Structure 1
Amino acid sequence: MTTNGTSQSILLAGASGVLGRHITRALTEAGHKVTGLGRSRENGIRADLMDRDALLRAVDGHRFDTVVHAATALRKPPMRDRDMYATDALRTEGTAHLVEAARATGARRFVVESMAFGYGYGDHGDRPLTEDDPFGPRGATPALERHIAGMRTKERLAFEAEALDGIALRLGLFYGPGGTEALLPLLRRRQLPLPGDRGRVLPWVELTDAARAVVAAVERGRPGQAYNIADGTPMGFRAHVEAVARTFGLPKPLHVPLWFLKPMSYAHTVMSSRLRMSCAKAERELGWTPRYASSHEGLAALRPTSHL
């Protein structure tokens, strides 16, 4: 049964992705009926979010209570700024098209996957950011503005959509089943050189915890609100990868200076950033707390089911 006793019919854009598969499972276990939307054969409704007319044709005749936008164009961790461009477009044009599709199906609620870097890349100091802090500040370079504009626009379209109750989840960096495994071959072959963290930390969230937050937003999120979603232990990028290596008995990544990553522009930006988030609002309003309070706990739970 669902937490609030009401089963919903949910259209999930991005259902076949890594996060989407966890969301599908979590929503189904909570008693909801999930229909996937995307380009792959795994989806109940096959359509490309970037093709407005085809999308509206595909959803014609369907009815849903809630639409969840978790679509991404990423198939591996982004290294260069250009690796993010297709996902940037999904956050702008794709979201606008999905809002139209949601209204066409009679949906009343629209939940979007947002992310921590919508607060801006760079050094935010040691104070945990809350949902009251500015979101979507102008990017320091044209490429960063393109990324941040995507996150800013995605939330704005959700909150301002006529006849839809928009909710945004500002998620930390993902790890966990279906995500962490991609690092293992690189660590085994020592093909993942990383700089030291030098006090820089980032928010992390285990994938099944992120999926549980989506269920909470579907059932209990307040319209027009954003919620930070991360575990209680911010950690530097290198520290997280070293924890992966220890958990799976693999070599630590080679150490390189930060400037070495400049050709990999997006990775350099991420690893140059320092960002903490408070998730008190999600705990208070959604009743969500992470099952795994740190990457160490989440990785320990992952190891027995992984194939090395």
Structure 2
Amino acid sequence: MTARVLVAGATGVIGRALVPLLSARGHHVTALVREPSGAAGLGLDGVVVADALDAEAVRAAVLSARPEVVVHQLTELRGPTAEGLERTARLRTEGTAHLIAAADATGARRMVAQSIAFATAPRGGPVLTEDAPLHLDAPDPGWALTARAITELEQRVLSAANLSGIVLRYGTLYGPGTLYHRGGAIRDAVARGRLPLPEPATGVTSFLHVEDAARAAVRAVEADTDGVFNVADDDPAEAAVWLPEYARLLGAPPPRTVPAPLAERLLGWLTGHQLTAMRGASNDRIRQTLDWKPSIPSWRTGLAAD
């Protein structure tokens, strides 16, 4: 069944992959953007303009679009900077509240919201389900803020009185526009031999191509169920596996090894956490409930692709 779909975050990494997939399925797609020029070339059925942190502007924009389904893909990250984490946390808290209120006012029936699978606390594992607790007590202030914001987003979406809600916890994204793609900071660091490998490098990353993230969002738009779903490929990998292999695929020198405490000082808390302590994400629930599976089952196939 086709629907009127409003995509907030249509100009982002996932949004740009999602819009054409929704259109190909026959959905009427409107983008909510801050700057109309950013939506040029997306092949949209409509564009409405609002800053997601302005409640009245969001309400007016959503009422104008009259969506049946609202897709919330809003972030403002250009790498894990303090400013980007803070702005994105506000989009996940205040922005989510504004979208839900506006969706309720216009009679929308469903919301699909972006979350992240790698914000789980580093306990248990190495691969965790959606029931694992989030890392609310992370020692890094920015990551603790992120985990709290995700918690609030998920609670708001799943408890909205008049909306059916799905939360998609995406794995670590790669593909166009990401840190692992051509011109991305991580790809550049690995290619130049500037991303060291901690000892031990036991952090587990569950990767996800942006196209598979978008395909999961289409499934969620068309689903008739609620809940939280990890979205990741089938090949969670320790840093000791994926980082040297990524370097090899790029034709780069093998990463030099450093003690784990030094890696955190060199790379920052979040990258150090990813390489030493992060847990992977099981995709069993979304496979079983939404009949989704990754078209790229392993990062080994596409992580180094241009």
Other structure's SS at 2:38 match: coil
Identity of aligned residues (%): 35
> Counterpart in 2 of 1:33?
28
Q: Relative to structure 2, which stretch is displaced further, 172-181 or 271-280?
A: 271-280
**Quick one: which of 216, 219, 237 aligns to 2:219?**
216
Relative to 1, partners in 2 of residues 1:162 and 1:136: Cα closer, same or farther, differing over 3 Å? same
> Counterpart in 2 of 1:85?
86
Other structure's SS at 1:195 match: strand
Give the TM-score normalised by structure 2: 0.86
Structure 2 stretches lacking a partner, 5+ long = 40-46
Alpha-carbon distance, 1:197 to partner = 5.2
2:273 partner amino acid: T
Relative to 1, partners in 2 of residues 1:240 and 1:64: Cα closer, same or farther, differing over 3 Å? same
Structure 1 stretches lacking a partner, 5+ long = 1-5
1:124 partner amino acid: G
Work out the CA distance in 2 between the residues paired with 1:285 and 1:25. Answer: 24
Q: Which has the higher strand share?
A: 2
> Counterpart in 1 of 2:43?
none
> Counterpart in 2 of 1:174?
173
- Matches of residues 1-308 of structure 1 in structure 2 within 5 Å? 6-40=1-35, 41-43=37-39, 44-75=47-78, 77-78=79-80, 83-120=84-121, 122-126=122-126, 128-131=127-130, 133-136=131-134, 138-141=136-139, 143=141, 144-179=143-178, 180-181=181-182, 182=184, 183-196=186-199, 198-223=201-226, 225-237=227-239, 239-260=241-262, 261-262=264-265, 264-299=268-303, 303=305, 306=306
Task: Give me the CA root mean square deviation.
Answer: 2.3
Other structure's SS at 1:208 match: helix
Q: Cα deviation per residue 1:15-73 (whole Å; 9 max; x = unaligned)?
A: 11111111112222222222111223223222211121222233333211100111111
1:125 partner amino acid: G
Work out the CA distance in 1 between the residues paired with 2:202 and 2:238. Answer: 7
Work out the CA distance in 2 between the residues paired with 1:279 and 1:212. Answer: 14
Other structure's SS at 2:198 match: coil
Work out the CA distance in 1 between the residues paired with 2:112 and 2:238. Answer: 29
Aligned length: 291
2:56 partner amino acid: D
Alpha-carbon distance, 1:92 to partner = 0.8
2:231 partner amino acid: I
Alpha-carbon distance, 1:226 to partner = 0.9
